[in-house]
A and B are shown apart, each in its own frame.
Chain A
Amino acid sequence: MTKKQTIKLLRMKTLEEKTVSAKYAINRSVVSFWVFNLFALGFLFFWIWLYKQPQDNAAPAPLRTVLKTNEKIFTSLFGNNRLAKTFPLKDAVVKVRVNGDAGMGDNFDATKWKLQVARSAGDTFYVTMDEIKALPKTDIIFDFKCIEGWSQVTHWAGVKFSDFVKKYHLEQESQLKYVGLNTPDKKYYVGIDTKSILHPQTLLCYEMNGAPLPMNQGYPLRLVIPVKYGVKHIKRIGTIFFSDTQPPDYWYEQGYDYYGGL
């Protein structure tokens, strides 16, 4: 329909009518329904095809490809200066939800705990809790968001990861794309893009609600990273390392998005 015809049609109160041969009307209908059925069939085959694709970390490979593209789009779109909303102290809940105990085995000796930092393979050093606590302390009260869909305003305190990097001269290592963190028993592990871990609200956290972390919240030291879902807030950090390739990630291996950024 040309523009002129459209305008004419709109001026009229009725839709455009045409008298045609019955054969023409039928032919047009047949072609249209063929295209329609092929489209429906095409979608059905696409769906079956999608679920038959090889899995990439427990997700069909084509979906994984798009998720990785999403990550690229979002990381290039977003700077590192957008802050998660913070709340007044009175909004912080007293009963903090405990979700997940992977890597939190019983045979953990807190008295022997030291944070292991690997500058590179074979070049590691240890930091004690006292040394971490000697660094500037930062409090944050924010809406913690679980990948399951719930959220809770909670109060945490610790040292900014970026302050930790400065203190231990890890600027060189922080040029690499990822930071990997493991529990002491290596049963829970996350990988985080360096940009997010250097975000000003990311903490190596040792306090919750003004008291040392409870055991089930990752005593003595956990990650608090408000720009990510809870799955990335690893409890009871044993080792930190730097890498240009994606470190293994517990939930990524079970089909979740690696990025997990909010």
Chain B
Amino acid sequence: MRQKKIIKKHPLAIRWFHWINFPVLGVMIWSGMLIYWANDVYRLGWGDTTVLKFFPDSFNKALNIPFRLAEGMSLHFVFMWLFAINGVIYFSYLLFSKEYKLIFPNKKSLKQAWLVVLHDLHIKKGLPPQKKYNAAQRIAYTGVIFMGLGSLLTGLAIFKPVQFNWLCAVLGGYEWARAEHFILTVLFTLFFLVHIIQVALAGWNNFAAMVRGFEIKNVVPSQEKEMAAPVDDEKANHQIITNENA
């Protein structure tokens, strides 16, 4: 019988959280844009010079964004529950399943993340040993969790600025909270772009693992022998996953 090696990667729960979050965050960003249009004051630039306006009129027109504030608000204040609940359960799961140990950065992460960047830019060969995620991924994926928390808090501050006036004050006031909420959304979008590029580069097996939970590898005869032998901890310690994960 033909044999395959499967490498367990993502628990079922994490796969569900991930794929529920995808359309929900999509709706939050889309409805957020419908809301933002009604007071589209942000731009990149200085003085009278504007490098990038959020958003150009042509962009708004192309996506049919204008005059849909009410629709945006109702979508936003419905899907916010799904975003928050999914996020809270996901985070609790990370903590209780100890899965966080694979995601949160550790002491070595900052230094190693630099090596990962050098590697990805083809400046340096070889990656430091890693478990599920490399150091750069640990920082990015933990960062995005805190961005989610940031979106919830800044969102709450602009949603109920009187009831949560203390939160509003902590965030620098109503206008700042709105700007922070917007900046976080831009960061989410940038994260998403980098994320899909990395997933595309990492290949099918890596992407499929977020659906089926495991990667598949062919078993070569010599490896089969090795697999049969008892694996002691010392040996496992030196084993390195060489595939790049995204």
Query: Size class of B's contact patch?
Result: 35 or more
Q: How many residues of A contact B (CB 8 A)?
A: 59
With contacts A16-B7, A148-B39 known, is A29 near B160, CB below 8 A? Answer: no
Check B155 for interface membership: any CB of A closer than 8 A: no
1/0 per position for A219-262, CB-CB distance to B under 8 A? 00000001100000000000000000000000100111100011
Q: Which of the segments A60-68, A104-112, A124-132, A181-189 contacts the partner chain?
A: A60-68
Interchain CB contact under 8 A, A14 and B131: yes
Check B165 for interface membership: any CB of A closer than 8 A: yes
Interchain CB contact under 8 A, B70 and A149: no
Check A90 for interface membership: any CB of B closer than 8 A: no
Interchain CB contact under 8 A, A15 and B129: no
Bound Cα distance from A235 to B49, whole angstroms? 38
Contact among A24, A84, A251 for B162, CB-based, below 8 A: A84
Interchain CB contact under 8 A, A18 and B5: yes
Binding site secondary structure of chain A: mixed
Interchain CB contact under 8 A, B162 and A25: no
- What chain A residues lie within 8 Å of B73 (beta carbons)? 147, 256-257
Interchain CB contact under 8 A, A254 and B70: yes
Least CB distance from B211 to A in Å reads: 5
Closest residue of A by beta carbon distance from B1: A21
1/0 per position for A5-26, CB-CB distance to B under 8 A? 0110011111111111111110
Bound Cα distance from A36 to B19, whole angstroms? 9
Bound Cα distance from A148 to B173, whole angstroms? 17
Q: Which of the segments B85-93, B134-142, B185-193, B231-239 contacts the partner chain?
A: B231-239
For window 27-68 of A, CB contacts with B under 8 Å fall at: 28-29, 32-33, 36, 39, 43, 58-60, 62-64, 66-67
Interchain CB contact under 8 A, A59 and B70: yes
Interchain CB contact under 8 A, B175 and A151: yes
Check B161 for interface membership: any CB of A closer than 8 A: yes
Least CB distance from B16 to A in Å reads: 9
With contacts A149-B39, A257-B73 known, is A82 near B6, CB below 8 A? Answer: no
Interface of B toward A, CB cutoff 8 Å: 1-9, 11, 19, 23, 35-36, 38-39, 41, 69-71, 73-75, 77-78, 81, 97-98, 101-102, 129, 131-132, 160-163, 165, 168-169, 173-175, 178, 208, 211-214, 216, 219, 224, 227, 233, 236-241
